[in-house]
């Protein structure tokens, strides 16, 4: 009886296999938004601002520890005012210990004249509007401020030639929406890739951008471990921003008095 049942089952399987094939229609949903359009609208939003203010944090993650810092940025287009106040907070280790940090870097512009001050060396420099040295000063502070001197200013001063990780983002694609700090954001995946005029590439790494769906201002940037690092290595930077477009700012807010020794 079992043998007969097996033969019947085998026959039904063969019969099913010989049935004419039917095409299966697969519906592929298009992306929820155009990632390149979101980035273009973000650049345009910054360029159109007459004033800007933000505050935020940076977490630089490496193997076994994370360096944490905070910052704030103020800007007015007319008159030409800028303030970037960056402070290192602490190095936190996975083993549990925490080392406080006190480094501070301040860049401020009043009436078109840029000044910089570094707490560790007590260096205080002044850069006139002419000659292009102000752009170089912002670039020079990029490493010490973990990218803050470039990230937003490169968009506010869109004609300066400054370029941030956002400008280096290629292969952008939509990855849905996410709430950041209570704000709905476009989440954009891409590849951060810096190119030399010779065509050589450097700093290639995955990048994720969270762009506010209402204001189109950046709320979060994740630069992941660069390509080519040893397996298991971590070199990740997470910048979280609380931006405000066109706030009312007073000249006194941009003034910084260099501490006396």
The torsion region of residue 29 among left (phi > 0), alpha (psi -120 to 50) and beta comes to: beta
pLDDT band at 168; cut points 50, 70, 90: very high
pTM: 0.86
Residue 18 in domain: no
Position with higher pLDDT, 33 vs 12: 33
Residue 121 in domain: yes
Mean pLDDT of all residues in 31-56: 96
Mean pLDDT of all residues in 26-31: 56
**Distances from the Cα of 208 to the Cα of 6, 33, 186, 192, 211, angstroms:** 56, 15, 10, 9, 10
Q: Of the given ranges (146-155, 178-187, 228-237), which has the lowest mean pLDDT?
A: 228-237
Residue 149 in domain: yes
pLDDT digits 0-9 by tens, 209-226? 999 999 999 999 999 998
Residue 3 in domain: no
User: For the chain, how many structural domains are there in total?
Assistant: 1
pLDDT the model gives residue 207: 98
pLDDT band at 19; cut points 50, 70, 90: very low
CATH number for position 226? 2.50.20.20
Position with higher pLDDT, 261 vs 110: 110
Residue 261 in domain: no
pLDDT the model gives residue 112: 86
Provide the mean pLDDT of the chain. Answer: 89
Residue with tokens 């205080």: 124
Mean pLDDT of all residues in 23-48: 81
Cα 8 to chain centroid distance, Å, stands at 64
pLDDT digits 0-9 by tens, 2-12? 344 343 333 44
H-helix segments, the chain: 2-18, 35-48, 133-140, 148-151, 153-156
φ, ψ for residue 155, nearest 5 deg:
-90, -35
**Distances from the Cα of 152 to the Cα of 107, 138, 216, 232, angstroms:** 14, 11, 13, 31
Residue 21 in domain: no
Cis peptide, bond prior to residue 63, ω within 30 of zero = no
pLDDT the model gives residue 30: 56
Residue 191 in domain: yes
Residue 218 structural domain: 33-254
User: In 218-257, which positions are buried (b, 16+ CB within 10 angstroms) versus exposed (e)?
Assistant: bbbbbbbbeeeeeeeeeebbbbbbebebebebeeeebeee
Percent share of the chain, pLDDT over 90: 77
């Amino acid at each position: 009886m079992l043998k007969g049942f097996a033969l019947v089952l085998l026959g039904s399987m063969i019969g099913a296999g010989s049935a004419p094939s039917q095409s299966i229609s697969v519906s592929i949903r298009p992306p929820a938004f155009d990632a390149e359009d979101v980035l273009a609208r973000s650049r345009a939003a910054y360029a159109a601002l007459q004033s800007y203010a933000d505050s935020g944090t940076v977490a630089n993650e490496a193997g076994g520890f994370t360096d944490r810092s905070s910052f704030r940025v103020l800007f007015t287009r007319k008159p030409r005012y800028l303030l970037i106040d960056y402070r290192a907070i602490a190095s936190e280790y996975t083993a549990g210990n925490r080392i406080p940090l006190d480094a501070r870097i301040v860049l401020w512009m009043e009436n078109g004249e840029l000044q910089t001050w570094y707490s560790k060396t007590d260096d205080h420099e002044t850069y006139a509007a002419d000659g292009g040295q102000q752009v170089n000063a912002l670039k020079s502070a990029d490493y010490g401020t973990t990218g803050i001197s470039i990230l937003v200013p490169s968009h506010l001063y869109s004609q300066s030639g400054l370029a941030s990780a956002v400008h280096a983002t290629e292969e952008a694609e939509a990855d849905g929406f996410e709430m950041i700090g209570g704000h709905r954001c476009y989440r954009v995946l891409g590849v951060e890739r810096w190119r030399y005029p010779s065509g050589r590439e450097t700093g290639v790494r995955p990048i994720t951008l969270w762009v506010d769906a209402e204001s189109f201002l950046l709320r979060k940037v994740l630069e992941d471990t660069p390509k080519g690092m040893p397996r298991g290595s971590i070199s990740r930077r997470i910048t979280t921003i609380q931006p405000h477009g066109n706030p009312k700012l007073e000249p006194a807010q941009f003034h910084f008095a260099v501490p006396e020794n």
